[in-house]
Structure 1
Amino acid sequence: MIPRDAKVTALELARGFPIVSFTGPRQSGKTTLARALFGDHAYVSLEDPEQREFATADPKGFLARFKAGLILDEVQRAPELFSWLQGVVDSERSMGRFVLTGSQEFGLRAGITQSLAGRVGLVHLLPLSLSELAGAGVVAGSLDMAMLQGGYPPIHDREVPPRLWFPNYVNTYLERDVPQLLEVRNREQFRRFVRLCAAHTGQLVNLSAIGADCGISHVTAREWLSVLEASYLVVRVPPYFRNFGKRLVKRPKLYFVDVGLAAWLLGIRDPETLNTHPLRGALFETLVVSEMLKERFNGGEPAELYFWRDHVGHEVDLVWERQGELHAMEIKSGATFAPDWLDGIDRWRRVTGGEEVKSTLVYGGDEVFVRDGVEVRSWRGVGQ
């Protein structure tokens, strides 16, 4: 197992909450991490039909078997358990007794909100970060190879080639997860929708255009995109709305959570193709945004990442606030620094009216330095 940065956060939560919940996409390492950290707990997967039937028909009897702690895998498959879990943890007040995992946000979030509010410490576990891969000595030697591989653990700790792993992952998702969340009559049409979303990664969300290209309505496109979000395959980054006297765009931007999956969906199979692909810049931006999300989630922080763009197209790729300090990040896929890359940050500084802004530029090269007060950071250290 490749060590995970979320370990510290998970153990801290287990000391202060009776339930710890790991959420994230399938195959992101939730179960592996839960079993590694809570090895003295019993383990039950609710993907097992017999266990699921027992938990659904007799939740009280099901839970009574496990006095010393329990890891419940894919707990959203038996929503009847949530109310009974509330009764158990309220009566015993034992911290870290139950560990839940789930790969569908809708069911898990609904159960926690309705029955377990205030009793659950949440860990959002995304695929492996570049820093985790580097720590294990398995990070790719080149940027293009790193983008092709993405961060799903099986690609790295089982050494399964991306060209073989991703098609099986997508087929499993379409066969198992999608039918649990909505009825899709035309599976190939939904597959096309997923590919079209990959073609829009790093861009403003335009559901009408995606729906038209896919032959579905705007309403259906919105519903299908929500399913991709609930499965932790994509994320929408909202615009930063603080009023600086400018007309701003109101649509969010769409990003795949794993750049390797997005590249595979686009038909990119080798570094040479990726290096000259017209969407290489968008894929690099996807990589960086994903790394920033992982850094925040692994540390137990909410996402709260934004972008800024005015009505004429002036943009800063990422904006966030931390401890009262405003941060801005520009993302450039080129390997050689160009001075005009700082134009967006310079414009942002003027827009903010001289407010103190910590500025960073992440690029596709290897050097690290400071230029005109901006930290220029290599892609290798983006989430550190």
Structure 2
Amino acid sequence: MNNVLIPRMLRSQVEEHLALFPAVGILGPRQVGKTTLARAITDARAETSHGEPGRSEGGLYLDLENPADLSRLAEGSGYLDGVTDRLVVLDEIQRAPGLFRELRGIIDRRIRRGERAGQFLILGSASLDLLRQSGESLAGRIGYLELGPLDVREVEESRLLRLWSRGGFPPSFLAPSDGASALWRENFIRTYLERDIPQLGPRIPAQTLRRFWTMLAHSQGGLLNASQLAGSLAVDGKTIAKYVDLMVDLLLVRRLQPIHANVRKRLVKSPKIYLRDSGILHALLGIPSLDALLGHPVAGTSWEGFVIETLIRAAPDSLTPPGFYRTATGVEIDLILDVPGSLRWAIEVKRGLAPRVGKGFRIALEDVKADRAFVVYGGDDRYPVGGGVEVIGLRELATELAALVRE
């Protein structure tokens, strides 16, 4: 991944966290650029540390999937205690869960000595597992950031459709051809199924998990129907719940929960399921190119998931969990965000260039008491369509949401 594709704002956010916390955890799926980001930070520190007393250039990078690096940490506290003048990067730390207890002791001893924050940068691909392990041992000592695939704010406007088609994983997006991109994504899927997931613990046959992942792709944007999935895979509902939890934990699937407004209507209670990266979705469905995608029945829900994921990532971390609203009669809002200032934003997603606002969306706005309402579509212009609803392009709304972080 080219360093040009590492947003400067993200690097600054990591540095801000390192100034506050002894340890910072960066969560994200494999191949998304966590290592590149960490090396960019250590390289930048090396450039600014020349001649500064007590500071070594750059940082110490340890890949815990490398047996040599892992062996250096066999007695973690002894080795890491001696590294006091550099930022220590611990990549794929979920491979050494016992290290969290060692880090707690090291950090506490340094705090007592009055040493500065920003000692450890922790990278991991399994979010819930990493959060649980680090939360138990490093509570109050660690801050978190999530690094996702590239989104519309990080690529040129002219390449937005390529981003939607290929997804945001840099090797896929930057591949020299659609065929090379599809090949990379297929290998990415196989690596997760055959190597990464078994190493995390679950003993699930790769063929079974691939079928499950593909079934989720076919139901992109639909309500989670655990009993239907269970019947198709000949397992029980609890097993399906574990499979979904696993894919959510790996940051590959988003489980969007329904918002329960205080209305006298029968509301949907099941979450909606989206594959978080559109390129992986298309690979699982055998869609090789943008032309094939535009003529495929999944195009509408694929675009919906692409927009929703982009906006959730752009929104401030401090907001309440995102959700959707749907009644049993089909009155629906695709995405609801409660943003800072106690404001509720309601967002409808349309793929066409001449979006129409349906009656159901306007009824839903009254139900959820939305403060602002948007229709995100495939164009760039911004204009009102009555009733406080604005039609807006994806990049502009994502940029507006991201600006709330800095206010």
TM-score for both structures, normalised by structure 1: 0.91
Q: 1:199 to 1:9 in 2, by over 3 A?
A: same
Q: Which digits, 9 at most, give the CA deviation of each residue in 1:214-234, with x for residues without a partner?
A: 333222211111111111100
Q: What are the Cα deviations for residues 299-321 of structure 1, in whole angstroms up to 9, with x where unaligned?
A: 54467111001121211001121
**SS of alignment partner, residue 221 of structure 1:** helix
From 250, 272, 280, the counterpart of 2:269? 250
Secondary structure, counterpart of 2:211 in structure 1 = helix
Structure 1 letter corresponding to 2:214: R
Which residue in the other structure is 1:381 paired with? 396
Aligned: 1:151 with 2:155: no
Structure 2 counterpart of 1:358, one-letter code: R
Equivalence for 1:15: 19
Range with greater deviation from structure 2 (308-317 or 183-192): 183-192
Give, in whole Å, the separation in 2 of the partners of 1:269 and 1:86.
Answer: 47
The aligned counterpart of 1:343 is 359
2:35 to 11, 31, 35: 31
Q: How many residues align?
A: 372
Instruction: Confirm whether residue 330 of structure 1 aligns to residue 348 of structure 2.
Output: yes
Gaps of 5+ in 1: none
- Rate the CA distance shift 1:105–1:260 in 2: closer, same or farther, 3 A: same
Q: Do the aligned residues in 2 keep the contact of 1:201 with 1:286 (CA within 8 Å)?
A: yes
* CA pair 300-183 structure 1, distance change in 2 beyond 3 A: closer
2:171 counterpart letter in structure 1: P
Instruction: Check conservation: 2:172, 2:182, Cα contact below 8 A.
Output: no
Paired amino acid for 2:60: A
1:369 to 2:383 alignment: yes
> Residue 194 in 1 paired to residue 213 in 2?
yes
Residues of 2 paired with 1:79 and 1:173: CA distance?
20
Post-superposition offset of 1:349: 3.0
Partner-residue secondary structure (3-state), 1:365: coil
Q: Does 1:175 align with 2:190?
A: no
Structure 2 alignment gaps of length 5 or more: 44-57, 400-407
Which whole-Å CA distance do the structure 1 matches of 2:102 and 2:19 have between them? 21
Take 1:123 and 1:303, find their aligned partners in 2: how far apart are those partners?
A: 16
Corresponding letter in the other structure for 2:6: P
Relative contact order: is structure 1 or structure 2 higher (C-alpha 8 Å, sep ≥ 6)?
1
CA RMSD of aligned residues (A): 1.9
Cα pair 2:319 2:338 within 8 Å, conserved: no
Answering whether residue 61 of structure 2 is matched by residue 46 of structure 1, we say no
Partner amino acid, structure 1, of 2:378: G
Equivalent residues of 2:256, 2:323 under 8 A apart? yes
Kindly provide the CA deviation profile for residues 164-210 of structure 1, in whole angstroms up to 9, marking residues without a partner as x: 21011011111222102344353212111111111122111112212
SS of structure 2 residue aligned to 1:238: strand
Deviation of 1:158 (Å): 5.6
Flag the 1:188–1:45 CA change in 2: closer, same or farther, 3 A.
Answer: same
- Please give the alpha-carbon distance, in whole angstroms, between the structure 2 residues aligned to 1:112 and 1:208: 34
Q: Does the 8 A contact of 1:320 with 1:327 survive in 2?
A: yes
- Residue 156 of structure 1: how far off its partner (Å): 3.5
Residues 150, 261 of structure 1: 8 Å contact kept: yes
Is this contact kept in 1: 2:346–2:370, CA < 8 A? no
Kindly provide the CA deviation profile for residues 259-310 of structure 1, in whole angstroms up to 9, marking residues without a partner as x: 11111111111222211211111101110111012213xx544671110011
Percent identity, aligned pairs only, is: 33
2:376 matches 1:359:
no
- Cα distance in 2 for partners of 1:332, 1:382 equals 14
Q: For residues 95-110 of structure 1, what are the structure 2 equivalents within 5 Å? A: 95-110=117-132
